[in-house]
């Protein structure tokens, strides 16, 4: 029994080692135990969660062929000729800046003579919040920890100088390095912009073959750079915009959901791809895609929209239902405040309606608990079917609404005014209350009518 276990463990390790370095793939052992629909779901979920795949590459360069060629040529000159460069990729979020750089690097690494020699360093301004953290990350990604070893440096500048000397060692034949700095504008806020200065200085003086690629959303990025940094930057910029049409958006939709030729069951793959083609002609699906396209052209948002229908696939439901697309769109556009109102008690709902009426009566002026309680008491006494709660209970419900952030204090948390008289404002709109009442389970008719009435006496 022990031998069998050891043998199975050895086979598992062999399987893992055979797939190492090939990127995210489904094991062939998984395909033998999964049904076609289960395997299809697994493949689609990988495509939607892990971003770019080879079969989705068609939409990567859509509308950005010139920018892709420009970026690829720039990186290739660094990788093959030892030419140092710097470039800034500018565009709104979701325009494909990171995707452009990833595909350009992937195309570059497909060449055998470049794959083994090219080094990459990826930094993010949200993670590397100062130059010291960035320096540590550069050291880790370049695998220079052993070079530094146990050396103790007196200052940050000494550490940086040592690392740069390690980069400078060698001539033009030394390994080229691509530095990708995401959220580039955040690096400009680092003290003295030391990291940017040294990277641009190495690139300008050709001390080592490096290419510095910055990614940012800010059009005024150059103005954020110090004079000494700006003078060493090449001022080469690539601008990206969301210029894709709705037909391009449909092509992306198909690329994300269709199966490629590597799928084990080609018969199932053919029928599935035909099913996706039919979905692109369904008026309801097209309407959902049109709404998504007009809201945002970001491919990542489209991936989120498609995740729910894919997760609904099963043996009982082997195709993507039209209703699942509608439901996914509803969930993504759901108003969080309205959804929160579905879970409050009837008493809390009455207090919210009372606040709504007070806001209408006094044209948005602040109110306090005593005013809300007076409004609620008048309603509860008029309706014999409503239970009248004690003031202490109503105050507890009011404080719960404050904790839910459905209302907020106007005078701040440090005010010494009694809580019954502290001025409040609503954080929800009347339309959100109306929408929540329509979906509220077993809401009393009196409460609905009270909320529908414009002004109270």
Are the beta carbons of 311 and 327 closer than 8 angstroms? no
Please compute the mean of the pLDDT values over residues 141-157 and round it to a whole number: 69
Ramachandran assignment for 405, one of left (phi > 0), alpha (psi -120 to 50 degrees), beta (any other): left
Predicted local confidence at residue 57, as pLDDT: 43
Please compute the mean of the pLDDT values over residues 46-58 and round it to a whole number: 59
Is the predicted pLDDT of residue 7 greater than 70, yes or no?
no
Is the predicted pLDDT of residue 81 greater than 60, yes or no?
yes
Separation of alpha carbons 94 and 298, rounded Å? 4
Instruction: Among 37-41, 240-244, 262-266, name the one with the lowest average pLDDT.
Output: 240-244
Predicted local confidence at residue 457, as pLDDT: 40
CB atoms within 10 A of CB 247: 7
Are the beta carbons of 164 and 198 closer than 8 angstroms? yes
Is the predicted pLDDT of residue 157 greater than 90, yes or no?
no
Please compute the mean of the pLDDT values over residues 173-185 and round it to a whole number: 86
Separation of alpha carbons 72 and 181, rounded Å? 17
* Local confidence band at 341 (pLDDT 50, 70, 90 cut-offs): confident
Instruction: Please choose, from the candidates 171, 88, 187, the residue with its C-alpha nearest in 3D space to the C-alpha of residue 130.
Output: 187
Q: Which two tokens stand for residue 225?
A: 């750079």
Are the beta carbons of 251 and 58 closer than 8 angstroms? yes
Predicted local confidence at residue 163, as pLDDT: 67
Per the listing, tokens 């309603």 go with: 379
Instruction: Quote the radius of gyration of the chain (alpha carbons, Å).
Output: 30
* Local confidence band at 31 (pLDDT 50, 70, 90 cut-offs): very low
Instruction: Please choose, from the candidates 286, 279, 296, 287, the residue with its C-alpha nearest in 3D space to the C-alpha of residue 244.
Output: 296
- DSSP summary character for residue 206: T
Q: In this structure, which long-range contacts are made by residues 288-292, counting pairs with CB atoms below 8 Å and at least 24 apart in sequence? A: 288/325, 288/326, 288/329, 289/246, 289/249, 289/250, 289/253, 290/246, 291/329, 292/249, 292/329
pLDDT tens, residue by residue, 201-217: 888 877 678 899 999 99
Ramachandran assignment for 63, one of left (phi > 0), alpha (psi -120 to 50 degrees), beta (any other): left
Separation of alpha carbons 177 and 78, rounded Å? 8
Find the helix or strand (DSSP H, E) in which 180 lies. Answer: strand 177-182
Instruction: Among 314-323, 353-362, 406-415, name the one with the lowest average pLDDT.
Output: 406-415
Predicted local confidence at residue 167, as pLDDT: 57
Question: Which residue would you say has higher pLDDT here, 455 or 20?
Answer: 455
DSSP string, 280-300: TT-HHHHHHHHHHHHH---HH
Q: How many helices (H) and strands (E) does the chain have?
A: 25, 7
* Local confidence band at 286 (pLDDT 50, 70, 90 cut-offs): very high
Separation of alpha carbons 199 and 210, rounded Å? 8
- DSSP summary character for residue 175: P
CB atoms within 10 A of CB 147: 14
Instruction: Among 132-141, 378-387, 391-400, 431-440, name the one with the lowest average pLDDT.
Output: 378-387
Is the predicted pLDDT of residue 414 greater than 50, yes or no?
yes
Ramachandran assignment for 183, one of left (phi > 0), alpha (psi -120 to 50 degrees), beta (any other): left
Q: Which residues are 119's β-sheet partners?
A: 177
Count of residues for the chain? Answer: 457
Please compute the mean of the pLDDT values over residues 50-62 and round it to a whole number: 46
**b/e map 162-197, b = 16+ CB within 10 Å:** bbbeebeeeeeebbbbbbbbbbbbbbbebeebbbbb
E strand segments, 54-176: 85-90, 119-124
Question: Which residue would you say has higher pLDDT here, 457 or 228?
Answer: 228
- DSSP summary character for residue 219: T
Predicted local confidence at residue 152, as pLDDT: 63
Separation of alpha carbons 257 and 58, rounded Å? 13
Are the beta carbons of 373 and 419 closer than 8 angstroms? no
Find the helix or strand (DSSP H, E) in which 437 lies. Answer: helix 430-439
């Amino acid at each position: 029994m022990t031998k069998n276990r050891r043998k199975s463990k050895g086979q598992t390790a062999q399987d893992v080692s055979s797939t190492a370095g090939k990127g995210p793939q489904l094991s062939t052992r998984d395909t033998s135990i999964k049904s076609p629909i289960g395997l299809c779901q697994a493949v689609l979920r990988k495509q939607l969660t892990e971003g770019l795949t080879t079969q989705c590459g068609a939409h990567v360069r859509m509308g950005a062929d010139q920018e892709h060629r420009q970026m690829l040529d720039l990186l290739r000159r660094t990788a093959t000729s030892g030419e140092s460069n710097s470039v800034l990729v500018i565009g709104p979020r979701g325009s494909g800046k990171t995707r452009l750089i990833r595909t350009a690097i992937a195309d570059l690494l497909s060449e055998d003579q470049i794959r083994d020699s090219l080094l990459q360093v990826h930094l993010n301004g949200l993670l590397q919040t100062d130059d010291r953290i960035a320096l540590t990350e550069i050291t880790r990604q370049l695998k220079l920890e052993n070079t530094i070893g146990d050396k103790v440096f007196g200052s940050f500048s000494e550490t940086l100088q040592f690392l740069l000397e390690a980069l400078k060692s060698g001539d033009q034949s030394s390994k080229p390095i691509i530095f990708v700095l995401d959220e580039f504008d955040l690096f400009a806020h680092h003290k003295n912009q030391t990291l940017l200065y040294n990277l641009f200085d190495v690139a300008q003086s050709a001390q080592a073959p490096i290419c510095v690629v910055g990614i940012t959303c800010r059009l005024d990025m150059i103005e954020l750079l110090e004079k000494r940094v700006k003078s060493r930057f090449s001022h080469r910029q690539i601008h990206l915009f969301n210029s894709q049409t709705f037909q391009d958006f449909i092509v992306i939709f198909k690329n994300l959901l269709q199966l490629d030729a590597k799928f084990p069951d080609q018969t199932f793959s053919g029928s599935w791809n035909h099913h996706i083609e039919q979905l692109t002609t369904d008026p309801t699906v097209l309407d959902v895609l049109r709404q998504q396209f007009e809201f945002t052209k970001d491919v990542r948002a489209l991936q989120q929209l498609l995740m729910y229908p894919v997760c609904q696939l099963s043996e009982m439901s082997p195709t993507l239902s039209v209703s699942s697309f509608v439901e996914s769109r509803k969930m993504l556009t759901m108003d969080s405040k309205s959804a929160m109102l579905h879970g409050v008690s009837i008493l809390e709902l009455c207090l919210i309606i009372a606040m709504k009426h007070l806001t209408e009566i006094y044209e948005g002026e602040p109110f306090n608990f005593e005013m809300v309680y007076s409004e609620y008491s008048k309603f509860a006494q008029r309706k014999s079917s409503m239970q009248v709660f004690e003031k202490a209970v109503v105050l507890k419900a009011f404080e719960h609404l404050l904790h839910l952030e459905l209302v907020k204090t106007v005078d701040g948390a440090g005010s010494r005014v009694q809580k019954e008289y502290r001025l409040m404002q609503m954080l929800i709109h009347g339309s959100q209350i109306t929408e929540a009442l329509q979906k509220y389970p077993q809401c009393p008719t009196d409460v609905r009518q009270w909320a529908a009435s414009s002004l109270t006496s």
